[in-house]
Amino acid sequence: MRPALKNQAQRYPARGCNVRRLDHFNCLAVDVRANREFFERALGFRLTERIVLDSGEEAGMWLTATNKSYDFAYTKEAHGVAGRFHHVTFALDSREEILRAAMTEFADHGFGGARIEAIAERAGVNKKLIYYYYAAKDELFLAVLEQSYADIRAAEHELHLETSDPIEAIRSLVGFTWRHYLAHPEFLALLNSENMHRAGHLKRSARIRQMNSPLIEVLAGVLKRGEESGELRSGIDAMQLYISIAGLAYFYLSNKHTLGAIFAFIASSNSFAFCQGLPGFTPITWMLATLRKMFQSESLVLSEPSVS
């Protein structure tokens, strides 16, 4: 988990108070103005705030070299002693820790069974801190759902569907969706729980549609390019196509245990029971074959997309 460069934040300390990085230094100075000018001229810092007394003397200044509000601060030394250090502040990871712990707890026990006490214990924080960030359990669950959707949308963005060949773009999205669901069973568990509550939390979200609309717009552009090139038939709805892709992957993976119990086979994440023994036939090629029949497109070939 330790980064190769010393100026990068560690990803997941998971012990103690979870210090991620240095946040800022604060020192005392006899001449605040002189120190500010040195930081700006020689070190490239930018002034973000300062205190100027009626006499024109500078009594405090805050400087940054990053996108934060400030990285270094100087305040006036009251006793005329040069070069005194005041304090250093570390950036902690409390909110992110809470979200990670809550995601695991909600995925394991559902919204109804998850306990704030267990989330606090997992995150290594006081329960009061959770309520400082999130007013209620419902609000925390919604934040977890929004983060889960933000994660998958961010990963889909890296596919660069808008610049890919139309058929390759669809194949890539199919392969990505299967693999993402396979790698993140907690996402499926959270969706199962939210569906039991009739999407009551997501309906209150101000962000969820804004997060998902760009994907549908990109997919609509892919379908339009495919229609213009003759590779895809006209009239394919982008939203319905995505629901079909997500639904095919979701149903098998979220129901593999019950399907295995009912039909007496060992449900595998890597191959369908009814496809076993068929060379080259995998869940992804099955999804592509199904989509080809649904949307009448012979161009959706059965080979799996390459994984970079």
Q: How confident is the model at residue 93 (pLDDT cuts 50, 70, 90)?
A: low
Q: 94-135 architecture in CATH?
A: Orthogonal Bundle (1.10)
A 10 A CB-CB count for 97 gives 20
Strand partners, 2: none
Q: How confident is the model at residue 178 (pLDDT cuts 50, 70, 90)?
A: very high
* 8-37 pLDDT per residue, tens: 544 445 555 666 678 899 999 999 999 999
CB 83, CB 57: distance < 8 Å = no
Domain boundaries, the chain: 19-92, 94-135, 146-295
pLDDT of the residue at 1: 45
d(CA 45, CA 292): 58
CATH code of 19-92, in short, is 3.10.180.10
Q: Given a cut of 80, is residue 188 above it in pLDDT?
A: yes
Which percentage of the chain shows pLDDT scores above 70? 83
Q: Given a cut of 50, is residue 200 above it in pLDDT?
A: yes
- Our CA dihedral for 123, 143, 220, 237, rounded to 10 degrees, sits at 110
Q: What is the mean pLDDT of the chain?
A: 85
pLDDT of the residue at 263: 74
**One-letter amino acid for residue 158 of the chain:** E
Pairing verdict, β 85-92 and 19-29: antiparallel
Strand partners, 165: none
The residue ranking higher by pLDDT, 138 or 123, is 138
pLDDT of the residue at 274: 46
CATH code of 146-295, in short, is 1.10.357
- pTM for the model: 0.67
Helix, strand, coil percentages for the chain (3-state, nearest 5): 55, 10, 35
